[in-house]
Every structure is written in structure tokens, then in C-alpha cells.
Structure 1
């Protein structure tokens, strides 16, 4: 089942390169007809992703807890890609009921949901392990784990109904090799990854015999993200191993035209493995 004219289903007609090294979909239609939700859309990565998905032809439904940042991202995507459908909702993703209401509203208004890109983030750390403040864990658990639980539970069924759905989590290399001062952050990222891979297993088990999964859940792994503003602020910094937010957005957009079975349950690295 294709999304619409110009979209090729991952796992059937599409045989593009991997989401890490493949060519970026050309403007004007690789995701034509797809309806993709973006959680945490107000930050730099979210705004870059809104732009890229709109350029590829998707209908983009953005959410953020900060209405001002959300409006800025939505307006920028609409302005950059005239005619693109980009809408925004202020959603409290710490509430499962709010997350489910957002998913239900999106599917009701647009008839389908083909993706949820989870970009809700945050960081707290300490000078060393012994100095770890468990209040950091409480905060990061909510931001990095609880929001993933809520979006995945809310969007699981609509993504499976899509026939080519994608649940995308952006994680950090530190989840695989945590450092002493990042215990809370790395543990929260690792928990979010485990939850996402459990969703992938649910999609795998829902597949008909000899058929690809009806949807895919995947983890994109970065060391850290960088923007032009960060480079301007620190012109002498190297940002070695960092992923530009535009590169992240490109990788996200390629996931729908990569075969579902190559995406589902995989950790896809956008930085060298530690």
C-alpha cells in the first residue's frame, strides 16, 4: 500500500541505499502522501526535520511543549516549502492521555499516520559518578523515557495500520559506552532504546508469513548534534563526530524509502561506533 503518488513502499518497490549513506530523496515527492508526526519539533533538530519532511512532500504534524518554538518551526517549514501541509499542536507528552489524543486527532484529520519521529531531548550531567544528583535521573527519566513510552503506545496501532509506518528514536552513542559523569543521561537513553526495540519486536511479530513487518521501529545514534549557530558561537571548535541537524533530518527522511525489514529493530549509526 503506497502513501500516494510518488511514494514507493519500503520493502517492496523501493531499493534505495541505506538511511546512513544513501542519497537524499529529491525535493518534491519522495514522501508524497505520507503523514508524519514529529514530537519535540521546536528544537533545532525538530525544525530541521520539519523542513526536510515538508520538502520531501509529507504532511507534517508537529508537536512541542513550547508553543513559541513550535510556531517558529512550523512557520519556517511552511515558508520554505510553499504549499506544504505543516501543522502544529502543543502537546504534553508526559501525559499518556494527551499523547493518545494527539494520535487520534492526527489520524482522524488526515486519515492515516505513517511516522512518529521522537526528538524530545534534554541533558544533565555531573563532574563524576560520585557527584551524580539523582534529581537528574528523575528529570531525564521523564524527558527521555516516559515521553517515548507515551508516544510509542499512542502511535503503535496507527503506524501498523499504515503498512509502511516508522517509529524513529534519536539516541546517543553514550548509551552504549556511558561515562562516569553521564550515568543518569546514558541510563535514560539506554532505557529509551530498549523500549523502542521492544516496539520493533512487536512489529516483527505482527508480520504475516514471509512478509515484511507492517511498520518499523528504529534508533538513530549520534554522538551529539551541532548547528550553524553553535559553530558561529565557537568558531574554533572541531565538533568531532557530531552530526549536523540537517544530516540527521536527511537520515530520518530516507527511512521510509528503505526496506522495512532493514530498518526495523536496528540501531543505525550516524557517527563512528565508540
Structure 2
């Protein structure tokens, strides 16, 4: 496993100091100032936009991806756009539950806390009709869209609960609620990932007891995502109803401004509900 340690802090802050540090707004700072946020799938367009937005908000951002070259580019872009920001890239295979757990443990040990995990690992497979569905698509999407959610949520759950303001955020698709014949494998995978995330939210709810959850798991739902490269490649396309990756990143950053009890277990629609 490769790790870029050039931008890590020179010393790990003591656990007791970090435990008393508030992530919530103080002294005019925003709710993400000083927060430690992990981003899974950081090298894709949505990941790049999210790294930029979280760095801009003052968070310490620890991105992971399985593609080290693309990850390095994404980390460098966020780092250079926001001078002084702590943005780190780690090559992690999230299909390996041990690597996911090691990533979570290493991040908490290094920075004393973990305040968020943003899950942006994506992929799509489909067919023209339901009858033409290839079940190898399901096998691929189950790994990308379900297994990675399972591994990251289990790896980060306890750290997020300890944070006092932790968030697990899954990006999903409207098609999970209203699948089409050709999208059977994709919609089923997304629906499974959503159900898993809602179960995590119930865990946070029960752990919080009468005081309410100290952390939240929520789902941000889009029709589909679009970015500048897609527009350049298809200048005549309308991309009707698509959410720009910068809008998604803005919505992600905004979740920390809302109380955990308000967002825990919620589907946050960035597109009209079907």
C-alpha cells in the first residue's frame, strides 16, 4: 500500500487535546474548520470536487483511491488551490476490509479524530433491456457499490461515533428508488448500499440514546452527475436533471452545518424525487 506522507503533520496531536477540540463553529470559523474528513473514491470527478470544497472549508482531507496516479493529481489540485490546506492521498484497496480498517485506524491515530467519511466510489453497468442483463455486471457492481460501502462503514463507524459530529455520506442515484429494466444490476446495487447506510444510521440512533445520535449516516441522491469534461466531450448534450459535481461537493460540505439528529437516516435529494 502506498502512502503520500509529504503533507502529513510533523507530529500527532495528543488524543486528550483532540477530544476537547470542537469541530463546530467557533470564533467565526465554519463547522468544517479543523475537521478530519476521509474521502473514498477521491480520484474521480466528484472526488476531486469534494477534495477542493472540503479543503476550502478548512478541513483536513484524507482521500483514498485505488488509482495512485489519478489520486496524486486530485490531491495536488486541491492542495495548490488552497495553499496551507492539509490534503493527503493514500492508495487503498477498499475491497480489502483489512486495508479499509487500517486506513481508518491510521487516520484517527495521525490526527486524533475522524469527523467524516464521504463515499464516492462509483461505477455503472447496464443493458438495453431487462432480458439482456448480464449477471457479471451485478458481480462487478456489487463489489464497487456495495462491498466498498460495507468495508468503509464498518471501518470508520466507531471513530465517527467518537467524533461528536461525525458523518457518513453515501452518494446514490434516483434509479435505486425507481429502477428501469436495463439498470437492474445498477439499481439493485445502489438500493443495497442505501439499505446498508440506513442500518448504520440506526446504529448511530441507538448509540445516542435519549440524547440523540452523536453522528449521522445519510444519503445524497442525484439523477446522475456531470462535470466540465463531460460537457466538453458532448457540447450538444443537455444533461437534463444532472447534478454538477461542484453542486454535489457543496451539498456534502453543508451536511456538517445541520444537526446529526436532523440528517441521520435521511435521503437528501439533490434532484426531484421520482
TM-score (norm 1): 0.90
Tell me how far 1:3 sits from its aligned partner: 5.0
Q: Which residue of 2 aligns with 1:70?
A: 71
Task: In structure 1, list runs of 5 or more residues that go unmatched.
Answer: 10-25
Is 1:249 aligned with 2:266? no
Q: 1:30 to 1:163 in 2, by over 3 A?
A: closer
Tell me how far 1:208 sits from its aligned partner: 3.3
Is 1:8 aligned with 2:25? yes
Q: Which residue of 2 aligns with 1:94?
A: 95
The worse-fitting range, judged by mean Cα deviation, of 191-200 and 224-233 is 224-233
Give CA deviations for 1:199-236 in whole Å, capped at 9, x if unaligned: 00000001132x23010000000000000111121122
Tell me how far 1:30 sits from its aligned partner: 3.8
Q: Which residue of 2 aligns with 1:85?
A: 86
Q: Which residue of 2 aligns with 1:237?
A: 237
Give the 5 Å matches for 1:196-207: 196-207=197-208
Q: Which residue of 2 aligns with 1:267?
A: 267
**Higher relative contact order (Cα pairs below 8 Å, separated by 6+ residues):** 1
Distance, in Å, in 1 between the alignment partners of 2:25 and 2:161 is 17
State the Cα RMSD in Å.
1.5
Structure 1 or 2: more helix by fraction: 2
Task: In structure 2, list runs of 5 or more residues that go unmatched.
Answer: 1-18
Give the 5 Å matches for 1:88-167: 88-167=89-168
Distance, in Å, in 1 between the alignment partners of 2:264 and 2:30 is 23
Is 1:213 aligned with 2:230? no
Tell me how far 1:29 sits from its aligned partner: 4.2
C-alpha contact 1:118 1:148 (8 A) present in aligned 2: yes
Distance, in Å, in 2 between the alignment partners of 1:83 and 1:157 is 29
C-alpha contact 1:223 1:243 (8 A) present in aligned 2: yes
Tell me how far 1:33 sits from its aligned partner: 1.3
Give CA deviations for 1:11-62 in whole Å, capped at 9, x if unaligned: xxxxxxxxxxxxxxx9x74411100000000000000000000000000000
SS at match of 2:189: helix
Q: Which runs of 4 or more aligned residues in structure 1 lie more than 6 Å from their structure 2 counterparts after TM superposition? A: none
Q: Which residue of 2 aligns with 1:61?
A: 62
Give CA deviations for 1:139-169 in whole Å, capped at 9, x if unaligned: 0000000000000000000000001100000
Distance, in Å, in 1 between the alignment partners of 2:214 and 2:30 is 22
C-alpha contact 1:3 1:34 (8 A) present in aligned 2: no
The alignment covers a number of residue pairs equal to: 255
